C-alpha cells in the first residue's frame, strides 16, 4: 500500500504542478506576439498532453486503487469532500485543455486575468485537499 500511496502522491504533484505552471504560462500569452506566441502555445500543449494528463491519470488511477484496497475509507466524510474538490480540479483541467485549443486557433483571445484566476482557484483547491488529507476532519 505504501508504494501505491507514493505513486498517488507523485501523480498529484505532477498533475497540480503542471496545471499551475500552465495557468501561469497561458497568462503570459497575451504579452507575446508572432512566433513566440505560437511557441508558448506549443509548449503549453506539450506540457498539458504529457505532464498534466499523465499526472491526472496517475493520481486518479492510484487513488482509486487505494480506495479499492481500503473501501472502509468511503465512510469518512473528509474523503467525500476531497473527491468533490478533485472534481473541481478536473473541471479546471478540462477548461485549460479547451482554452489551449481556442488560443491556438485565435491567439489574440488570451486574457491574463482569466488564467490568474485559474491559478488562484487551483491553489485554493490544492490547499483544501491537503488540509482534508492531513487533518481528516469529519472522520
Q: Which domain holds residue 95?
A: 2-135
Q: Which residues of 42-62 are buried (b: 16+ CB within 10 A; e: fewer)?
A: eebbebbeebbbebbebbbeb
Distances (CA, A) of 26 to 14, 16, 50, 101, 112: 18, 15, 17, 12, 7
Contact 131, 32 (CB under 8 A): no
Residue 3: how many CB atoms within 10 A of its CB? 8
- Residue 93: predicted pLDDT: 98
pLDDT digits (tens, 9 = 90+) for 47-83: 999 999 999 999 999 999 999 999 999 999 999 999 9
Number of domains in the chain: 1
Contact 100, 47 (CB under 8 A): no
* pTM, 2 dp: 0.93
Amino acid at each position: 500500500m505504501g508504494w501505491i500511496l507514493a505513486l498517488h502522491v507523485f501523480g498529484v504533484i505532477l498533475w497540480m504542478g503542471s496545471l499551475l505552471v500552465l495557468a501561469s504560462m497561458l497568462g503570459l500569452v497575451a504579452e507575446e506576439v508572432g512566433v513566440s506566441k505560437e511557441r508558448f502555445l506549443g509548449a503549453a500543449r506539450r506540457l498539458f498532453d504529457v505532464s498534466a494528463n499523465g499526472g491526472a491519470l496517475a493520481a486518479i488511477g492510484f487513488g482509486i486503487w487505494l480506495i479499492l484496497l481500503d473501501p472502509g475509507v468511503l465512510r469518512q466524510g473528509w474523503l467525500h469532500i476531497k473527491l468533490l474538490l478533485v472534481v473541481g480540479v478536473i473541471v479546471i483541467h478540462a477548461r485549460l485543455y479547451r482554452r489551449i485549443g481556442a488560443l491556438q486557433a485565435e491567439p489574440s483571445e488570451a486574457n491574463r486575468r482569466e488564467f490568474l484566476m485559474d491559478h488562484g482557484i487551483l491553489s485554493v483547491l490544492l490547499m483544501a485537499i491537503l488540509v482534508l488529507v492531513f487533518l481528516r476532519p469529519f472522520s
